[in-house]
Amino acid sequence: MAQTKLNDVTKIFTEDDGNEIVAVDDVSIDIEDGEFLVLVGPSGCGKSTTLRMVAGLETISSGEITLDDRVINDTPAKDRDIAMVFQSYALYPHMTVGENMSFGLEESTDLEDDEISERVEETATMMGIEELLDRKPGELSGGQQQRVALGRAIVRDPAVFLMDEPLSNLDAKLRAEMRTELQRLQEELDTTTVYVTHDQTEAMTMGDRVAILNDGTLQQIGTPLNCYHRPANLFVAGFVGEPSMNFIDMERHDEAGTTVLHADLFEYPISDELATELGDSSDLVLGIRPEDIEISTDSPSGEHDIEATIDVIEPMGDENIVYLQFENDDTSLERESIIATVGGMRQFESGQTVTAHIPEGAIHIFDGSTGEALH
């Protein structure tokens, strides 16, 4: 049983010239026992600092971190029952693989030597590195070093694993393999894991839940599907999903009993229910995911059909990424472009005039000034 909680945790670094950097700003997260939680966000958003505070490698400026209701703010890293895996692997170069794995157990447990060897061998077998136990890290490939680093964490049987971009030094193929293997291992061991990455695909495919950070603040925490389908704000909506959600600035106009969202290049009437849901904001952003836009060669016929020109098509194999432009006779207006994805078998050409259908059931709407999701 290991429930880890961050309560209003803040980290402020003070630079030599006295300048303060708020790296983590009032973050609260409840990490469930056995959960695989991914901390994700762009470079500099505070992921590593958050993880390092949980590990005890960084002091906490304010707030509380608890492990099973015990406050661990001042508990030294070695007494936290937490094992950390780093991007750089951080193996001891002068020790063999076996020694790297047994070292922590010798230092921090009362286990007998033969028990330690047994655990090291068991874990090495689990990680497929039993043949490498007598080698030094310098004699291993990057992928093998990564397995040793993971094995060294697993052999300690900690309450929590913390992993800081552990796969980012591996090539794409190995990274994909290790992702699946890590998930399998985590399920098998059922140990609470907090995993840091800046890669939203990795976060979305690996996490039971993802915690999305930006500028030191927690933007949303939830299952990958929940964050994808119900993003809390513009940041999350734009961060999650590839290619990114399209955003179009719109103004709300209520005219003769109907509500129309108005952009320079097109108008988008909305239902009464949706108009009521949006409240009073008039400055809005319409969000539509590329895969939710339907493209056809028919003429526009419905109120959510917009004529567009195909600018560029990028074939991706199973799908095509289509860059569409809405144009207007008024040349003073900037051309607005959006991205749609269509099945790889669909035949379109650049320069072609098409109809883009933006179904009301698929749109997201955000408050233009606060960025908060309204629908």
Contact residues toward ligand ATP (CB under 6 A) are 13, 15, 21, 23, 41, 43-49, 198
CB of 39 to ligand ATP, least distance (A): 8
Closer by beta carbon to ligand ATP, 17 or else 114: 17
Q: Where are the beta strands (DSSP E) in 144-255?
A: 160-164, 192-197, 209-214, 217-222, 246-255
CB of 301 to ligand ATP, least distance (A): 47
Chain length of the chain:
375
Contact 52, 58 (CB under 8 A): yes
Q: Where are the beta strands (DSSP E) in the chain?
A: 4-14, 20-31, 36-40, 62-67, 70-71, 82-85, 160-164, 192-197, 209-214, 217-222, 246-255, 258-262, 267-270, 283-288, 294-296, 305-315, 319-326, 336-343, 353-357, 364-367
Coil vs helix vs strand at 101: helix
For strands 305-315 and 283-288, give the pairing. Answer: unpaired
Closer by beta carbon to ligand ATP, 17 or else 255: 17
What is residue 30's DSSP assignment? E
Query: CA dihedral defined by 127, 128, 131, 133, rounded to 10 degrees?
Result: -10
Amino acid at 193: T
CB of 243 to ligand ATP, least distance (A): 22
CB of 65 to ligand ATP, least distance (A): 15
CB of 105 to ligand ATP, least distance (A): 29
Closer by beta carbon to ligand ATP, 48 or else 220: 48
Contact 366, 284 (CB under 8 A): yes
Closer by beta carbon to ligand ATP, 186 or else 197: 197
Closer by beta carbon to ligand ATP, 15 or else 280: 15
CB of 322 to ligand ATP, least distance (A): 32
Amino acid at 143: G
The torsion region of residue 34 among left (phi > 0), alpha (psi -120 to 50) and beta comes to left
CB of 221 to ligand ATP, least distance (A): 16
CB of 85 to ligand ATP, least distance (A): 15
Closer by beta carbon to ligand ATP, 17 or else 107: 17
Closer by beta carbon to ligand ATP, 34 or else 44: 44
Give residue for tokens 């020694």: 99
Question: Can you read off the two tokens belonging to residue 150?
Answer: 């993971």
Closer by beta carbon to ligand ATP, 49 or else 219: 49
